[in-house]
Amino acid sequence: MNKLNIRTFTKDELESFFINIKEKKFRASQVFNWVWKNNVDDFDKMNNIPVSLRSKLDNLFYFSKTIISSKQISTDQTIKLGFKLSDGFICEGVLIPSKKRITACISSQVGCSLSCAFCATGKLKRLRNISAEEIYDQVYHIKKISEKKLKKPLTNIVYMGMGEPLLNYKNVIRSIQFITSKEGLAISPKRITVSTSGIVKMIHKLADDSVKFNLALSLHAANNEKRSQIMPINSSNNLESLKSSLQYFNKKTNRIITLEYIIFKDFNDSIDDAKELIVFAKDLKCKINIIEYNNVEGLDYNKTSVEKTNQFKLYLEKKGFIVNVRKSRGEDIDAACGQLANKA
C-alpha cells in the first residue's frame, strides 16, 4: 500500500479516515493539531498519541515538507525567501514589515502563464500549481521569522506573489481553510487578501462560495486597449465583463474590493488615465491602491515621478475615492511587486 500525504487531509477528511481504520475520531483532531498548529513532521513527537497508533500512522502516512532554500534581507528590512518544494521546484515569498503591520506575500504557482508585460514572474513559464500545504508552509515560515527576528506577530497575508491565485482555485481556498483554522494558524480571513489579474468566471465563483477573505484586482489600466497591451488576459476578460463580475462580488459578499494600480511613467500616469479609472470604479464598493513600480531588468516600463503619483492620487481623492500609495519595498533584493522570478 502506498503511503498517503497526511498534509493533504482536512480535519473532516482525517476524522473520516480514522473512523474507517477503527480509530477514535478525537485522535484525528489531536493529530491534525500536531500537523498544522505545531508543524510536526514525525509521529513519534506526538506525545499524547498512543505508541501503537503512532506506529500504525507511520505505516499509512508520510509528511511533505517545504523548506527555506534562500533568504535575502533588504536595506528596508523586507525579507525575501526562496522555498524549496518537495519535488525540488522553487517559489518565493516575502515578509514585508511596516509600522502598522507585518505582511506575508505568498505565491500560488511556480511561475505564471499570464505573461504580464511589466512583471518578472511573467517572463517565466508556469511549471505547476502550488499545493494547499505548500502555500500554508510559506505562511508558517514567514510567521515564525517575523516572531523570531522582528519580535512581532504576522498581521496580514496577501496572495500576490508568483502566479495567478484564481487559476489554482482549489488549493488557494483549501490553504486559507488551513490558515484560518483554530487548529492551524488561526488567522482571521479578514486579514487575508487574494489578488487576481481578473479571471471573470472565478470571481463569480468566489462570490457564489461566499468567501470571507478580501479580494483585490490587479487593474493597472482602465481602458481595454492599454490593459490588453500590458495584460494579455484582458483580451478574454475585458473591463466590461470584469466590472460586472466585481459588482456581483460586491452584491453577494458585501465586501469592499481593492483596485490595484501600478503607476508607470508616461503610460498610465496622466489625469486622463485617472478619469478613466474613475469611470471604471464609480459603481463599485472599492478602495484604490496606487503601487509604485519597481523597474525590472529587460522590461520597457519605468517608475513614474513622485510628483505625478501625488497628482494622480489627489485627483482621485477629490472625486471621493479612498486612495493609498504603496511605497516600493525590497527593490534592492528583487522582492518588490512584479519582481519575483527566483532570482537570488
How confident is the model at residue 295, as a pLDDT?
A: 80
- d(CA 10, CA 13) in angstroms, rounded, equals 5
Q: Residue ranges of the domains in the chain?
A: 4-62, 67-333
**117 vs 51 pLDDT, higher one:** 51
Which CATH architecture is the domain 67-333 placed in? Alpha-Beta Barrel (3.20)
pLDDT single digits (tens) 287-320: 999 999 988 777 888 999 999 999 999 999 999 9
What average pLDDT score do residues 169-190 get? 94
How confident is the model at residue 328, as a pLDDT?
A: 75
Verify whether residue 337 is a known catalytic residue: yes
Verify whether residue 286 is a known catalytic residue: no
| Closest C-alpha among 7, 105, 106 to residue 63 | 7
Does the structure show a pLDDT above 70 at 144?
A: yes
Q: 228 is written with which cell numbers?
A: 490588453
How confident is the model at residue 236, as a pLDDT?
A: 96
How confident is the model at residue 338, as a pLDDT?
A: 57
Percent of the residues in the chain that have a pLDDT greater than 90, as a whole number: 81
How confident is the model at residue 201, as a pLDDT?
A: 98
How confident is the model at residue 341, as a pLDDT?
A: 55
Active-site hit among 91, 112, 286, 337 = 337
Q: Does the global pTM surpass 0.85? A: yes
| Longest Cα separation, the chain | 71
Residue type for position 305: S
How confident is the model at residue 342, as a pLDDT?
A: 52
Helices 271-281, 306-318: crossing angle, 10 deg rounding: 40
Residues composing the chain: 344
Give the domain 4-62 fold. DNA polymerase; domain 1 (1.10.150)
Q: Per-residue confidence at 97, pLDDT binned at 50, 70, 90? A: very high
- d(CA 13, CA 30) in angstroms, rounded, equals 14
Active-site hit among 92, 134, 260, 331 = 92
pLDDT single digits (tens) 114-139: 988 888 776 778 889 999 999 999 99
The mean predicted confidence, pLDDT, of the chain is 93
Q: What beta strand segments (E) does 9-119 contain?
A: 61-62, 67-73, 79-84, 90-97, 102-105, 109-110
What average pLDDT score do residues 273-285 get? 97
Do the domains at 4-62 and 67-333 have one common CATH topology?
A: no
- d(CA 324, CA 331) in angstroms, rounded, equals 19
How confident is the model at residue 336, as a pLDDT?
A: 60
Percent of the residues in the chain that have a pLDDT greater than 70, as a whole number: 96
